[in-house]
Chain A
Amino acid sequence: MRLVLPGLVDGVWDLPRWLGARIAENGWWLAAGSVAVGAGVVAVHVWWRRQAQAALRERCAVELVPSVTFDPADAEVEWFAGQVASVRSAAGALPVRAAATRVRLTCTAGEMHYLLEGPARAASLLRMPGFEQVEVVAASAGAPSTVGRIRFEGAPPLPADTASLLGGVR
């Protein structure tokens, strides 16, 4: 059997000798190039991992609470799977490490809860009801709610140092 590499060597047996000669001639350049490429690869890898870590810090979660009569058809589950699959593209350019959609079965006081978690960028998709008989609620529904600050028109909160005096008004 004979392999032909046009213009370089005549036979496969000459390949190692040819490569050795080329390396000997351009050793410094090859070493420098290898280091540069290696450093570039490492830098990109580190940068990408940091992107992943940053994305993982911004995740959102919702709880899917089924009704007592929840009985989905196979097609409904397929649709929901399609919705879950869409989370990846809805989240935009994310490293694979940070792009997963998570189904979490967890329990509080022995009661099992079904949670859906994913990238915060795809929160709108996660919150979208996927089943007819399933309610989507914030995962922290049982916890104290976070409310935006209320500011009454014309009656701002009192500064802490004057609060006890009713703002000086009797």
Chain B
Amino acid sequence: MSPVELRKTTVSSACQGPERRLYTARAELVLAMPDHRPLAQAAGFAPDPLQRVAAAMAGVRSEEGEQADVVLDVIPVSAGAVARRRRVLMRRAKQRGPQAFGEQLGGGLGWWEALVEGLNGGRRPGVRGRAERVPRQVDVKEGVGKFTPGQQVFAVQLLVRVIATHPVRARARLNQLLAAVEVFAGENRFRPVGPRLPWWRPYSNVWWRRRSFDRRLESGEFAPARRQWVTVPEIAGLLKPPTIGCTAVNVARCGGVVPAAPVGLPTFTGQKDVVPLGLVTGADGRVTFGGVPEAGLLFGAFFGKSGFGKTELGLLQAICRAYAGAGVWFLDPHGEALARAKPYLAHPAIASRMWEINLATPKMSDRVASWNPLAMEGRRSEQVQEVIAAIVGGLAAAQEWGAYPRARSILSNAVRTLAELSLLLVADGRPDLQPTVFQIKSLLMNDAWREVVIEHLPPEIAGFWTTTFLDYSRDALPTVVQALDRLDNSLSLRAFLGSPRSSYNVRRAMDDGRVAFVCPAGSGEDELICSLLIFDLFLAGLSRKDTPPGLRRALWGFIDEVAAIDRAARDYLAKILEQLRKYQVRLMAMTQMAMRLSEVTRYALMQNQSILSSTAADIDEAKFVTSRFSHVGPQTINHLRQFEYVMSVRLKGQASSPFKVRGVPIDQALADYYNPRGVPALEAAIDTNLERRSVAEIVDRLRTLDDDIAAHLAVRGRPGTSATGPVDRTPGPRPGGEVVHSWPDAPHTETDVA
């Protein structure tokens, strides 16, 4: 009979073909000698006894279904039972008499003498009146062995099983593991039960042992082949995980222990006032889906390696905030987060609030949203300065125009001029003719068009173009035009920024609780558009000073790969972190390395964060993060597994101790909200919400916009002489221009921002 079971289970493996035969080798180990004889008692754990077990397991090919297990089952033995056993052993020692090295010296008591002595009340025949012999201490110690008082004793069951793809491999690995267990051999040792003849050693693989072995291994049943009691020092090597003395590299280890989740951390079940984190382990060892109260959460910093779950966590939080009714603004440079999130957002609670700004290279038939930063529709004349700040600040930041004051001056005046023109056109009832950022270039480069425009503007605006601009233009103009050319060369940006009327308005996203996903990737000018968007966000947040604090609805901003955007946004990220707290703009920033952020942004982020999280990171980055964590060292961060985070959150006004969080993918957390069949309806809802139009339509309209504006101005005539009458600059309803859009959901009808 083969020592390895040949009729075996099969396993499916995609890479190895449909089926693979597996072979099992089994061995149950028992003490070879009477169990009062001790096993070896190693001093310390260097080297660690588990080292050899780990070495034997190193070659196990789990992907092919191979397995190796060493199982030690222990049940404590009561002190009374041990004492009874000790008494028996002492009596035996006494009966045996003097002995040395386990061998009897001289005459002890035979079985007959022992019987007679027992029947005579413990008196030996023929020794009446003489003092009873007291056994030597050394004999008692030899006889009792390891069962001295005060020892914790365990009854044990030791099973070893190997499953391999070849019988020889199974047998070889079993022999390796049996050899590894030999480290416990001393006065006593473990040996396998079952047949063990020189030519036949199947151990527990024989048919009459196999079934019991498998049942015990699979179920945890304790039914050892023989009673065997051991003390703690004997099996200490197995009663602890691999130590530092175990030099085998194939041992699962962590970098260090992270404290348990803080008491009071809420369990997330979908509440509106809790932001999900992931699975956390409490002090009692219980695993829950932890969250953090949204009230204490203002800004978050999420660091760590790429692919370790930062975006997934941000996405989960964004979706949950959206379902909570809050505004969400998710800047996703890669454009993949939204694709993953859409099936979970296809829900009536979200659809009417959903926006999508996707700047990936579009087809001409694709429908896109529109954003005209120059649009004055729904704005007051006092807000021209905000428009100037948004565009000039955004472009200047992206272009690093700190050293080009004249370029800034030209652009500022151009934006002011076009904003005023926009006001005029809205007042004329032609918001569909509002100039876009692409008209800046026309204003600078097309003298005839410029003259037509400035004729209709107040003298203080027109004056710049007739005097100062002529001095600037020779050397400063190319700086400005170059930035505008970059916008002009991108079809995505022409489609997004080329429409006279805006459907994207981040202030409205804040006030109405919109769910906006912005994907700038693919535009070719990611930095430029990110800079404009973030500056717009900053100004929109600041503009909420016109709203009473109690009425400010929270907007949750999520910025993925913030290091890439930080370069474009310059100091405005820091300004958002420093200034927008009171305006209910929250910001969660995700990036691989804090060290790659600009100093200004990093300082602002670390100063104001109310959630600090790190996945696995390089040791230098880990040092930066752990300097903010107590009780957690860089090695711990360095050894975190994928989708594991160490976090510190603000709870009840103070930062918690760091704790470990295991990320939950959204497909598990929100499995019940997965609705891929609802995505087309969601797309249709976005079309309605943003009045998306086709790229071809927008680009065609942009191509003739200069001429259309000029034509309208020509018809309109000079101010004061026009048939349409003087320009009315008073705010309020204007014919055709008072209301921008009609939204499908009545509560979100736009009105002037008061």
| Contacts from A to B (Cβ < 8 Å) | 1, 52-53, 56-57, 59, 62-72, 74, 76-78, 80-82, 84-85, 88, 96-114, 117-118, 123-124, 126-129, 131-138, 141, 144-155, 157-158, 163-170
Contacts and interface: CB of A to CB of B under 8 A. Distances in A.
A151 B274 CA distance: 12
B243 A72 contact: yes
B499 to A, nearest CB: 23
Contacts of B270: 150-153
13 contacts: A65-B254, A70-B244, A72-B45, A85-B76, A104-B70, A124-B286, A131-B240, A145-B668, A150-B268, A154-B272, A163-B677, A166-B685, A167-B348
Interface in B44-83: 44-45, 50, 53-54, 57-63, 67-76
Contact of B220 (A72, A98, A126): A98
B279 interface: yes
Given A56-B221, A109-B62, A110-B59, A84 B243 contact: no
B242 A66 contact: yes
B237 to A, nearest CB: 9
Give the most central of A98, A114, A117, A168: most B CB within 10 Å. Answer: A114
A151 B320 CA distance: 10
A154 B681 contact: no
A152 B635 contact: no
Contacts of B236: 74, 77, 81
B241 A70 contact: yes
A54 B268 CA distance: 33
Given A81-B239, A157-B672, A68 B639 contact: yes
Give the most central of B219, B232, B257, B677: most A CB within 10 Å. Answer: B257
A32 to B, nearest CB: 33
Contacts of B672: 149-151, 157
Interface in B348-388: 348-349, 351-352
A101 B222 CA distance: 9
Given A71-B243, A99-B75, A102-B73, 4 more contacts: A52-B221, A80-B239, A112-B53, A158-B675
A85 B59 CA distance: 33
A147 B71 contact: no
Give the most central of B44, B57, B63, B152: most A CB within 10 Å. Answer: B57
A127 B284 contact: yes
Given A100-B157, A147-B669, A77 B685 contact: no
Interface string B641-677: 1000000000000000000101010001110110101
A52 B219 CA distance: 10
Interface string B298-312: 000000000000000
Contacts of A84: 74, 76, 154, 239
B675 A147 contact: no
A159 to B, nearest CB: 11
Give the most central of A127, A133, A151, A163: most B CB within 10 Å. Answer: A163
A62 B63 CA distance: 22
B251 A111 contact: yes
A100 B668 contact: no
B221 A135 contact: no
B250 A111 contact: yes
Nearest to B319: A152
Contacts of A70: 241-244, 253
Nearest to B273: A153
Give the most central of B58, B219, B268, B682: most A CB within 10 Å. Answer: B219
A127 B286 contact: yes
B744 interface: yes
A30 B223 CA distance: 34
B254 A101 contact: no
B256 interface: yes
Contacts, number: 274
B217 to A, nearest CB: 9
Give the most central of A78, A85, A103, A124: most B CB within 10 Å. Answer: A103
A67 B246 CA distance: 12
A128 B243 contact: no
Interface residues of B, number: 96
A103 B157 CA distance: 10
Given A56-B221, A71-B45, A131 B241 contact: yes
A101 B251 contact: no
Contacts of A72: 45, 240, 243
Contacts of B324: 152-153
Given A81-B152, A147-B669, A69 B258 contact: no
Contacts of A113: 252
B71 A102 contact: yes
A130 B239 CA distance: 11
A170 B744 contact: yes
A150 B286 CA distance: 18
A154 B744 CA distance: 21
B241 A151 contact: no
B281 interface: yes
Contact of A148 (B70, B220, B243, B269): B269
B489 to A, nearest CB: 37
A59 B220 contact: yes
B152 A82 contact: yes
A85 B152 CA distance: 8
Nearest to B348: A169
Given A106-B68, A106-B69, A169-B352, A150 B669 contact: yes
B57 A164 contact: no
A80 B684 contact: no
A107 B244 CA distance: 19
Contacts of A56: 219-221
A155 B241 contact: no
A107 B285 CA distance: 24
A147 B152 contact: no
Interface in B720-751: 744
A81 to B, nearest CB: 4
Contacts of A157: 672-673
A66 B660 CA distance: 15
Contacts of B222: 96-100
Nearest to B244: A71
Contacts of A144: 668
Contacts of A106: 67-70
